[in-house]
Structure 1
Amino acid sequence: MLKTWYYFLLCWLSLQLEANPGLKVRMTQKGLDYGRRVGMELLKQAVLKETFPSWSGQESFVIVKVNYVISGVKISAVDFPETSASFIPSTGIRLSVAQASATIHADWKMNTWLLKDQGGITVSISGLFLAVVFKVSRDSTGHLSMLLHNCQLSINSVKFKLNGGSSWIYNFLSGHLEKPVRTQLDKNLCLHIKYKIQIVDAQLRKYKVLSQIDAFAQIDYSLVSSPAVFESHINLDLKGTVYPVGNHTDPPFVPAPFALPNQYDSMIYLGVSSYFLKSASLAYYRAGAFNIIISKELGTAFYLNTALLKHLVPEIAQSYIRAYPVLLKLKATSPPAVTLNVDRCILGITGTVEVYAVLPNSTTHYIFAGNVTASTRANWTITKQKLIISLLLKRLQFSLLPSTHGSSEQMLLMKNFLSHTLRSAVIPVINDKLGKGLPLPNLSHTTLTGPVIKMNEGHLVISTDVHYKHEKEGDEDLHSHT
């Protein structure tokens, strides 16, 4: 019995590990190169603001032991003339810097049993080479994790210029400080990089993988597997499930496998599966977003009242001599069906419509009801980092419930009436709700530039470049949902 449960557990775990994603994200070499350029500029700014700890040591000068302290270390200039970034298959990303230079200012103090002295120092470092490999993976909570995998450092030249102090002290420092400075750089620079990467990793673990769309739904952006790193790109497989707010029950269907195209002209490729869209449809249905009440003017065409409806349903004329306002209650009876084909996305909506008269005392009186099946075409756009869906009514079928009778001519009139109602009042209401958009995975201070949407069988692909704006450019933080 124990072996059976053990086997079942292994099978279940293997299925979880092999779960297909609802969303796929690919960064290409073009995207990595852009990230490197932005990253190096940010690194320059960070280095110039960085403060470094003091250090002390002891050196022998002839027969005198000299104790020294270097403090107030600050980098005043830095240059990275040669940089490169590449993907390391099955590992992560390699960043290298060659022929880098830096100018460092600091204060020095020294003392012997004979005297004490102090002054300023300028250190010029040139020919610095640094190669860092970051390992990317998935942690147990579905967050992206980044750790320092390897760090190599070499320095060609370290030169000193001192201000203040006696001449013999100047000669001592010039001849003896290069070694401890190199030692400190060799010892601490990679450790400092490791510490900074740990900070980044901690921030990634705080990334909210559950993103709020609106009052109705949330998206789960957690990783379903570790990033797949290849020589030309890196792939991230995201769960891509949309849930009603407060209800994280998985849909009764699973994602089908799909692949991103073998294209690398854009920085980022985002694959959106039909599973993602179907889970969104189900989530909004469960949240009641498709239940709509129409009780106001339908544009300028006509005002909805019992006088208008009596031509469609004659029984109304017998019950309502006066013209009373009419209330329509539309309710989806199942989640809208999503069909994603090449260059076309169709949403099929099935529901009921109930018609009520609004009496002078504000109470409602049931008039009749019917079944509605509508076929709508979904158009896709991207605005402000969000995938926007807008619906266009294509076909409509209507049938009265058995308790209500009508001729074929009346049925045609009713169908035309409901078609107009859907086009002029219901679809705009739905589009207004959908207009808030589905937030796409993104990084802080980045915007998508020139996104192109291509629909395929069972999924759509968004190819796009990205643009980073510094905070000083006035760009707001686009990481608000993370």
Structure 2
Amino acid sequence: MAAVGGVVHGLLLLRMRKGGASWRGGPSDKGEKMRKMWYSFLPCLLVLQLEANPGLKVRITQKGLDYGRKIGIELLKQRVLKETFPSWSGQESFSLVKVNYTISRFKVDAVDIPETFASFIPGTGVSLSVAHASATISADWSVAAWLLSKDQGGFTLFISELFLEIVFKVSWDSTGHLSVLLHNCQLSIGSVKVQLNEGSSWIYSFLSGFLEKAIHSKLDENICLNIEYKIQMMDAQFRKQKVLSQIDAFAQIDYSLVSSPAVFKSHINLDLKGTIYPVGNHTDPPFVPAPFGLPNKGDSMLYLGVSNYFLKSATLAYYRAGIFNITISKDIATAFNLTTAILKDFVPEIALHCQTVCPVILKLMATSPPAVSLQSDTCSLWITGSVEVFAVLPNSTIQYIFAGNLTTSTRGNLTVIKQKLIISLLLKRLQFSLLRSAVGFFQISLVENFLSYALRRVVIPVINDKLGKGFPLPNLAHTTLVGPVIKMNQVRSSSS
């Protein structure tokens, strides 16, 4: 756990410093003891690093697994019907004659998988079972034997009562990618029947019995091998997927796993780093995620836990990118005519210094990363910054009017649209304190009213427009969220 790791690491250094005054023996003895201490500490530190807390949690429930099974089986049936198989040649003795044969142009005509089951195997991965499956396959055959005429034709193969159980082992690699490997494969085929469509009578005697045994043996040998190869290909695709997702020109999200997937009887948890970085700067934030858990519910297929750390890293990234620094001028203040004529209604002293109506410029700048808080059904964002107000004189020079500090409280509304988490801000409260003024002192409450109006009509819409691109959510197997429900809960610790 990153948070715990940081605390423990600090305590270890403190204890070492305290113990340093009690070393006895010569320099070599002291050095040897130091080395032994480090050798004992390093495994502990390594475990703490490997067990970093996530910024995001993904949970797939049994309901989600069942849905995935149904979709996967349908895709499997479609793929099998389009599958091509290599030709198969060999030699077999028939009475005293050696017969060369070739089986070619395999084509799956029908496949039926009436019963399938999927379940989580705690500590391992996922089990997929197929029962009472059947298939109908057509192919061509040709035979040639010494002193006997060649013959060829077609046959239909009927496979029935096929039972298959596969266990996938789910883990992760050193780069934070999901890894899937074949853990176990068990196959049982009840019946293989061959019906020849053409050929001489002696061919029927030779082929029908031989092919049934040979094909049964081939299936026993190759189905699990083929499944293992397909899973290896799937694993290779997982390793190629980018764990760093681009949000916009300012920020990226790291979706790498911070620990091996945790598999329980009713669900599987994926712990993702969930850190948002400024583009080109992947330095970790100066804070770490706190441990949190997901509600023990299974009525939805998938749960996504977004921690306070995730949003906090987002505000830090955008703060560093300057997204919260906005200059309001006549060009973007289309909601109202931003001039000294408007401003003097709130700061009458301006009329004494600006005789003619002039455009006004507001420069707002965040002075620290916005603070984020997730509580029950509430997302709050506090932005601390400064504001400078200028007038643009007729000769195009800029005249300073006043400057002050701002503290704004906003409510964050969270929605999910097209696989993206959209955050929009709504101003709740604004506080202003005057730092400098070129027009003398004035009533602060009136300036707060003016700035609140400017933020609501101009600043917040500009920020929401930039945030409107949304944060892309983890896309597992190209799924689409349907009817997402957002629930904000108090953070709590959980191991499952």
Query: TM-score, normalised to structure 2's length?
Result: 0.88
34-43 or 4-13: which moved more?
Answer: 4-13
Figure out how many residues of one structure are paired with residues of the other and give that number: 459
The match for 1:50 is 83
1:91 counterpart = 2:124: yes
What do residues 234-272 of structure 1 show as CA deviations (whole Å, max 9, x unaligned)?
Answer: 111111111111111111111111111111111111111
What do residues 279-334 of structure 1 show as CA deviations (whole Å, max 9, x unaligned)?
Answer: 11111111111111211378777411123324444564354332221121111001
Q: Aligned letter for 1:20?
A: N
The match for 1:140 is 174
Structure 1 residue runs of 5 or longer lacking an equivalent are: 461-482
Instruction: Measure, in 2, the Cα distance between the counterparts of 1:224 and 1:415.
Output: 45
Structure 2 residue runs of 5 or longer lacking an equivalent are: 1-33
Instruction: Measure, in 2, the Cα distance between the counterparts of 1:48 and 1:163.
Output: 21
CA gap of 1:459–1:209, structure 2 versus 1, over 3 A, is farther
The match for 2:356 is 322
1:105 aligned to which of 101, 115, 138: 138
Q: Aligned letter for 1:393?
A: L
Instruction: Measure, in 2, the Cα distance between the counterparts of 1:297 and 1:234.
Output: 52
1:38 counterpart = 2:90: no
Q: Aligned letter for 2:369?
A: P
Q: Aligned letter for 1:257?
A: P
**3-state SS, counterpart of residue 346 of structure 1:** strand
**3-state SS, counterpart of residue 308 of structure 1:** helix
**3-state SS, counterpart of residue 132 of structure 1:** strand
Instruction: Measure, in 1, the Cα distance between the counterparts of 2:492 and 2:347.
Output: 44
Are the equivalent residues in 2 in contact too, given 1:285–1:334 (CA < 8 A)? yes
The match for 1:123 is 157
Instruction: Kindly report which structure 2 residues correspond to 1:174-253, keeping only aligned pairs within 5 A, or say none.
Output: 174-253=208-287
Q: Aligned letter for 1:73?
A: F
Shift of residue 378, structure 1, vs aligned partner: 1.1
Instruction: Measure, in 1, the Cα distance between the counterparts of 2:177 and 2:200.
Output: 57
Shift of residue 444, structure 1, vs aligned partner: 4.5
1:448 counterpart = 2:489: no
The match for 2:22 is none
2:311 aligned to which of 272, 277, 282: 277
Are the equivalent residues in 2 in contact too, given 1:313–1:406 (CA < 8 A)? no
Instruction: Kindly report which structure 2 residues correspond to 1:161-176, keeping only aligned pairs within 5 A, or say none.
Output: 161-176=195-210
Query: TM-score, normalised to structure 1's length?
Result: 0.91
Q: Aligned letter for 2:434?
A: L
Shift of residue 403, structure 1, vs aligned partner: 4.5
Shift of residue 8, structure 1, vs aligned partner: 4.3
What do residues 314-364 of structure 1 show as CA deviations (whole Å, max 9, x unaligned)?
Answer: 564354332221121111001111111112111001001112233456554
What do residues 428-453 of structure 1 show as CA deviations (whole Å, max 9, x unaligned)?
Answer: 11111111111111234421112111
Shift of residue 166, structure 1, vs aligned partner: 1.5
Cα RMSD for the two superposed structures: 2.0
CA gap of 1:255–1:300, structure 2 versus 1, over 3 A, is closer
The match for 2:5 is none
Higher strand share: 1
What do residues 107-149 of structure 1 show as CA deviations (whole Å, max 9, x unaligned)?
Answer: 2121111232222121111111111111000111000000011
What do residues 180-220 of structure 1 show as CA deviations (whole Å, max 9, x unaligned)?
Answer: 10111111111111111011000000111111111111111
What do residues 46-75 of structure 1 show as CA deviations (whole Å, max 9, x unaligned)?
Answer: 111111122222222111111211112121
Instruction: Kindly report which structure 2 residues correspond to 1:462-481, keeping only aligned pairs within 5 A, or say none.
Output: none
Higher helix share: 2
Shift of residue 11, structure 1, vs aligned partner: 3.0
The match for 1:158 is 192
Q: Aligned letter for 2:371?
A: A
Instruction: Measure, in 2, the Cα distance between the counterparts of 1:301 and 1:22.
Output: 38
**3-state SS, counterpart of residue 208 of structure 1:** coil
**3-state SS, counterpart of residue 480 of structure 2:** strand
CA gap of 1:209–1:361, structure 2 versus 1, over 3 A, is farther
Instruction: Kindly report which structure 2 residues correspond to 1:343-358, keeping only aligned pairs within 5 A, or say none.
Output: 343-358=377-392
Instruction: Measure, in 2, the Cα distance between the counterparts of 1:443 and 1:96.
Output: 22
Are the equivalent residues in 2 in contact too, given 1:144–1:204 (CA < 8 A)? yes
The match for 1:71 is 104
Shift of residue 104, structure 1, vs aligned partner: 0.9
Instruction: Measure, in 1, the Cα distance between the counterparts of 2:302 and 2:233.
Output: 25
Q: Aligned letter for 2:127?
A: R
CA gap of 1:49–1:361, structure 2 versus 1, over 3 A, is farther
Q: Aligned letter for 2:134?
A: S
Shift of residue 163, structure 1, vs aligned partner: 2.8
What do residues 361-419 of structure 1 show as CA deviations (whole Å, max 9, x unaligned)?
Answer: 655443322111000111111111111111111111011213456545x3222111001
Q: Percent identity?
A: 74
Are the equivalent residues in 1 in contact too, given 2:353–2:439 (CA < 8 A)? no
Instruction: Measure, in 2, the Cα distance between the counterparts of 1:328 and 1:372.
Output: 13
Instruction: Kindly report which structure 2 residues correspond to 1:245-394, keeping only aligned pairs within 5 A, or say none.
Output: 245-296=279-330, 302-313=336-347, 316-359=350-393, 364-394=398-428
Q: Aligned letter for 1:170?
A: Y
Are the equivalent residues in 2 in contact too, given 1:298–1:424 (CA < 8 A)? no
**3-state SS, counterpart of residue 19 of structure 1:** coil
**3-state SS, counterpart of residue 72 of structure 2:** helix
CA gap of 1:292–1:241, structure 2 versus 1, over 3 A, is same
Instruction: Measure, in 2, the Cα distance between the counterparts of 1:218 and 1:12.
Output: 28
Shift of residue 98, structure 1, vs aligned partner: 0.8
